[in-house]
Amino acid sequence: MPKSTPPEAESRRLQMADIARLAGVSTSTVSRALAGSKLISEETRTRVMELARSLKYNINIGAQNLRMKQNRTVGVVVPYDPATRQHLSDPFFLSMLGSLADALTEQGFDMLVSRVDASELDAAAAPFDTGRVIGIVLIGQWRHHDQLNQLAARHVPIVVWGAQLPQQLYCTVGGDNLAGGELAGAHLIAQGRQRIAFFGDINLPEIGQRHEGLCNALRKAGMAVDPQWLIPASFVPDGGRLAVEQLLASGVPFDAIFAGSDLMAMEAINALRQRGMDVPGRVAVVGYDDIPLSSYFHPPLTTVRQPMPEAGRALVASLLALADGQAAPSVRLPTQLIIRASTV
């Protein structure tokens, strides 16, 4: 008696037949194109891959290549906001890329770096769909949680550096932003600061959680959470300076700033100095990330440290597990307050 075809295999066979019909080729040609065969022309292969993506066909080339030990490359995608064009030379991105490169080298893998428009995060899967990489590490969620869920739903091996969110289907690795924000807020309050401004776009998941951590610290201290101290600063060149100018123009009194990144905090300190405002005498400033430059800045920057070496290893371990067909639960890494002269 012949063996029955499993429903999943039958579905894949029917999808492959649809692709073949639309592409005007045989199903065997589609199969070879999806497997990356050199017998298929680049033009045909590109047409087949585009149709496969449009039909949400699950092309798990990466996992197949990983098992066959043929592909030893991981894609690292750094999204950009078209409005701000945050450059790849941003110190946080450089630290993260260095951490990932070290972790991948330890495992014997190469790294393919690319950028995508942050409004089109589903495009991050392209290197995987074309078989160039076994999976994707994406640096940041931005505002398109739904697109990342769609990638996970079609079984693209993807791990995202970012915050854990409700109804999340994809794997994230990230620092404990809520705890980090609370550490920063509690420290400033302990230093006697009562009017703490926050710089950052809280519509970004990680930044939003850092701000919520600050609000938690204020509530625990019996202090009011006042929206007038929230400055929606963006990660643009001179973002910290622009935020200081906006805060000063508002006329709202302040004695501390908690910035969403170290670079933004440093720009804010420079802007305050230019206006004769002493740091930390008149205004205490806390950053976030603990990039290497923060300890050499003047004054050295108090900041919340994200564990970069551990981050790279955790991202790579989760991605390799997913690419090999295993489960990879989300990981939240501890953050640590590093106290330096910008607040004391």
Q: pLDDT tens-digit profile of 235-262?
A: 888 999 999 999 999 999 999 999 999 9
Q: To which H or E segment does residue 21 belong?
A: helix 7-23
d(CA 159, CA 140): 10
d(CA 221, CA 328): 38
pLDDT exceeds cutoff 70 at 40: yes
What is the rounded average pLDDT for all residues in the chain? 88
Q: How many CB atoms lie within 10 A of CB 275?
A: 9
- pLDDT above 50: residue 169: yes
| pLDDT cut 70: percent of the chain above it | 90
Q: In this model, does residue 180 exceed pLDDT 80?
A: yes
Q: pTM for this one?
A: 0.79
Range with the largest mean pLDDT of 11-25, 40-54, 66-80, 90-104: 90-104
Res 187: pLDDT: 98
Q: Cα(169)–Cα(153) distance, rounded to whole angstroms?
A: 7
* 7 vs 100: CA distance, rounded Å: 38
Domains belonging to the chain, first-starting first, are: 7-59 (1.10.260.40), 65-175+308-332 (3.40.50.2300), 177-307 (3.40.50.2300)
pLDDT at 65: 52
* Nearest CA-CA partner of 193 in 264, 132, 118, 253: 253
Evaluate the omega torsion of the peptide bond into residue 299 and state whether it is cis, within 30 degrees of 0.
Answer: yes
